[in-house]
Structure 1
């Protein structure tokens, strides 16, 4: 499965390098790591992963809604690319937490988010509202929710870039920052 995800992401990256039409952008999937590569970490690295894993999973819920809807092919292609990338990123992040002997989640109380600018997640209610959106309004609602969601990913990545110690986590944060910033511009263009 990981090989297929890597192949699909590679194909998307290659197609983005060609032609004049803007092609959906997705970050290349992170490479698998071992415990030896990720031995150095600090509280910011753990917090970043504790925030990013559920955020990515919420993003996966959002983009999966686009699979079954009648939307423009380029929007659907971007949603598929996001799905492949985020599945791979979740795999890496949960493996790093396991390698570090850290739980996959820190829980979900408001106090946990007070020290880093609040909760950056997309609420289950917002995702449920999108799921219930009529067909005629779905694409616009999808684009708007995904723009906000990817903006929050950029904010989470900034925290890691500024205070993390683990090289792989910081590299992932840089990729998230760059790719989600590009996706936001692309999504805004789709709203046009």
Structure 2
């Protein structure tokens, strides 16, 4: 029993630190905890599942690049905490998605064929130019520019998740899409509140 409590305590402490010990006065949306998917993993998949994972991996990596910018910039504590929680969550999701693609013997990326993206609603990535413009933003304007770019980025994540929810067949991939849809929608609402 002691060993179980020690393990649980070790798992909960990082979550409590990242989420500010709950929502409290700050109104923070806690980061999702636990495994990316609790459904039994299968190797049943279709082209929508593959495209969703490939698009989401690329999208997540750009998101991680964006949220890391909040570490050393002048932004309020709540924004830093949210950015750190998003980074942890998306790193975990990328690990899971890459594992599933490997298990299915599928490439990490669909390549540069624009038609592949067009069939799934277009390219939903945040451009390197948009991220570079954020990096160049002055201290007085950074937080607002950061929130606006991250809101747009997470909105694109919601759009990518919709394709999987509607056309995918793989249970763990669909569960991840549901989780992305709901968590990013919550983050968008939270960040819109910061802009008021």
In the aligned structure 1, how far is the partner of 2:183 from the partner of 2:47? 24
2:71 aligns with: 67
1:83 aligns with: 87
Q: 1:138 aligns with which of 137, 142, 148?
A: 142
2:50 aligns with: 46
Structure 1 residues 14 and 166: alpha-carbon distance in aligned structure 2, compared to 1, 3 A threshold: farther
Equivalent residues, number: 187
In the aligned structure 2, how far is the partner of 1:95 from the partner of 1:26? 22
Structure 1 residues 95 and 14: alpha-carbon distance in aligned structure 2, compared to 1, 3 A threshold: same
Matched, 1:179 2:183: yes
Q: What is the Cα deviation at residue 8 of structure 1?
A: 2.8
Structure 1 residues 12 and 59: alpha-carbon distance in aligned structure 2, compared to 1, 3 A threshold: same
RMSD value, Cα: 2.2
Structure 1 residues 185 and 32: alpha-carbon distance in aligned structure 2, compared to 1, 3 A threshold: closer
Q: What is the Cα deviation at residue 32 of structure 1?
A: 7.4
Matched, 1:108 2:95: no
In the aligned structure 2, how far is the partner of 1:13 from the partner of 1:50? 29
Equivalent position SS for 1:190: helix
Question: Does the CA-based 8 Å contact 2:54-2:108 persist in structure 1?
Answer: yes
Question: Does the CA-based 8 Å contact 1:26-1:183 persist in structure 2?
Answer: no
Q: What is the Cα deviation at residue 24 of structure 1?
A: 3.6
Structure 1 residues 139 and 5: alpha-carbon distance in aligned structure 2, compared to 1, 3 A threshold: farther
2:30 aligns with: 25
1:23-47 deviation digits (Å, cap 9, x = unpaired) = 24323353479xx823111111000
TM-score by length of 1: 0.89
2:154 aligns with: 150
Structure 1 residues 50 and 131: alpha-carbon distance in aligned structure 2, compared to 1, 3 A threshold: same
Question: Does the CA-based 8 Å contact 2:37-2:175 persist in structure 1?
Answer: no
Equivalent position SS for 1:108: coil
Range with bigger deviation, 55-64 or 108-117? 108-117
2:124 aligns with: 120
* Bigger Rg, structure 1 or 2: 2
Structure 1 residues 58 and 157: alpha-carbon distance in aligned structure 2, compared to 1, 3 A threshold: same
TM-score by length of 2: 0.88
Equivalent position SS for 1:138: helix
